[in-house]
Structure 1
Amino acid sequence: MERADKETGLINASKRIENKNAAMQRFWVGSSKDANTSKAMFYVEAINKDLSEVKITLYEGAETSSNGYWRTVNKQTKEQMIYELKVCQEWFQSLNAEIERRRALLQ
């Protein structure tokens, strides 16, 4: 979790999975995928004392590097919003399972 602001209702979280072979790939091929990234942004708004609305935006991305002239390394980061229905459904199923698990712990 990067940031959580109770006043605005904004929550930002991200995850980065490093490619441990990136330097070797860059040496042999000239370029590499350094990491896969994912980010989730939540906006929580109270409707009344018993009900809140949550808006979620999911992003996926990648960080790549390539060899340039004079031993320089050029880095590039790409990030895009996830629109694929299957990915979102799987994410929400996991979220719903976690909510039910925690609800059972509270009873």
Structure 2
Amino acid sequence: MLGSLQQEIDVIARTVEVLEFIDIEQPVGIRRTSAGTNTPEHRIRTSFQILENHELIRSTDDGAVTTELTDEFLAAYDEEVESVRETVLELVNVIDY
């Protein structure tokens, strides 16, 4: 049960790293992102798809670029992660006798 949660956290962490790379290096393609983040291309493709589905990047002829939603997402990211961390700590307290 918690294994799938860990996998989801790993995907999110990788995808945010990819988004930050795109934000700095844009426009950028899958190969360059893979090399720049030291992540296999198939995982970069997955992250690109997730980011496109959330409208945080868009494809251009020159490569992926960020959208107007990216800055807002990145600005709120730390606060959202902290909220999730607090929820996980509450879960720990539930089973901590």
Q: TM-score, normalised by structure 2?
A: 0.32
TM value normalised by structure 1 = 0.30
Report which of the two structures shows the higher radius of gyration computed on alpha carbons: 1
As a proportion of its length, which structure holds more helix? 2
Greater share of strand residues, 1 or 2?
Answer: 1
Give the structure, 1 or 2, with the largest relative contact order (CA under 8 Å, sep 6 or more): 2
